[in-house]
Structure 1
Amino acid sequence: MPSDTTVPLPRRPVPLLLVLLAVSYAVAALGGLAAADAGEVYASLRLPGWAPPGWVFGPVWTVLYGTLAVAAWLVLLRGTAAARRPALVWWAAQLLLNLLWTPLFFGAGAYGWALVDIVLLLAAVVGTVAAFARAHRPAAWLLVPYLLWVAFATALNGAVLVLGG
């Protein structure tokens, strides 16, 4: 019988990981569909001097979406029963906000609304990290690069807005 602080491992943990990876990368794909010309849009923006080249975003986001899935998987596998559900609610909320940002910024060119969304996303990522830390601390640590990248992207979005796109 499991204790209050542990959850039994699923019988098939690898398919669970594959589902979480599919969910994470589906968010990336849907965002990409909404802004198929994101590279051209980014190249045309007035950017601050500290903005990275456009080619950086694909590899970074590919890794980050993977870590989002692995972190959620660890929470499901190893998280405490009481903390697991709130952690996954935060995880889903930040994924939804993440999904909304790309069409707002690149698809609609609504840099102000995109900034509102990414500030909410940043808050949701902070909530996710905190909730994951209560559920399974190593899973929370996996989200720190994502938190830092979203903070950077928030600053970049703000700079684009200030510079007039």
Structure 2
Amino acid sequence: MNPIASPAQLRASLLRWSLVLVPLIVLLGFLSGKIAGSGPGNAWFDALAKPGIYPPPITFAIVWTLLYVLMGLALAMICAARGARGRGSAVIAFVVQFVLNLAWSPVFFAMHKMTGGLVVLGLMVAAVIVTILMFARVRPVAAMLLVPYLLWICFASYLNFAFLQLNPDMDGVEGPRAVERFNI
């Protein structure tokens, strides 16, 4: 029996992993944002002063979807690298950074903790850098697929910081007392 897979077998393995992981990563990212009440329509968020560099809201849906697809493909490449040295620890690093990713929306949007969100983003940046380095040892192309994600979360960190600077009195404001709306 030949222990080395043929190119066709490797492509099939990558395809199978991709068909599972890409939709799963996109779905989990969507659910995290949806459950947390991310973006416009969240009364607390709508009341915040927005930084001048804040992009149109549709930008976030488009960019995050593309980033989640790239993340899923990168993870699929690593998972398909059966027998590769460092594969298991690379997957663990991915899971750690992804848990931090999923935690940010609930911390920022649901709990209204801008400082907490900034801490999560700082940890996420560090975890993504570690993940990129570990992915590069297994599949360099998979590591490159995570670079746009790293750049975006650096931008998100700046935005989170700018929101905190513009709205220090709204950090940690709870529930219905956070914003009162009056219709006239």
Q: TM-score, normalised by structure 2?
A: 0.79
* 2:21 aligned residue: 20
Q: Which residue of 2 aligns with 1:33?
A: 34
2:10–2:80 CA contact under 8 A, matched in 1: yes
**Over the residues paired in the alignment, what is the CA RMSD in angstroms?**
2.1
Q: 1:87 aligned to 87, 90, 95, which one?
A: 90
Q: Any gaps of 5 or more consecutive residues in structure 2?
A: 171-184
8 Å contact from structure 2 (residues 13, 80) kept in 1: no
- Distance in 1 separating the partners of 2:90 and 2:52: 37
Change (3 A) 1:129 1:27: same
Aligned to 1:99: 102
Equivalent position amino acid for 1:123 in 2: A
Aligned mates of 2:134, 2:38 — CA distance in 1: 35
The secondary structure found in structure 1 opposite 2:85 is helix
Quick one: distance in 1 between partners of 2:147 and 2:83?
20
What letter is aligned with 1:14? L
Question: 2:64: which partner in 1?
Answer: 61
1:16 counterpart letter in structure 2: W
- The structure-2 alpha-carbon separation of the partners of 1:75 and 1:45, relative to structure 1 and needing over 3 Å to count, comes to same
User: Is 1:9 matched with 2:26?
Assistant: no
> Which moved further from structure 2: 142-151 or 47-56?
47-56
Structure of greater Rg: 2
Aligned residues of 1:79 and 1:136 also touching (Cα < 8 A): no
Q: How many residue pairs get matched? A: 161
Q: What TM-score, normalized to structure 1?
A: 0.87
Deviations 1:111-151 (A, max 9, x none): 11111111111111111111111111111111110000000
More contact order relative to length (CA 8 Å, sep ≥ 6): 1
- Structure 1 CA distance, aligned partners of 2:114 and 2:142? 32
- The CA distance in 1 between the partners of 2:111 and 2:164, in whole Å, is 14
Identity of aligned residues (%): 36
Q: Aligned equivalents of 1:16 and 1:74: distance in 2?
A: 8
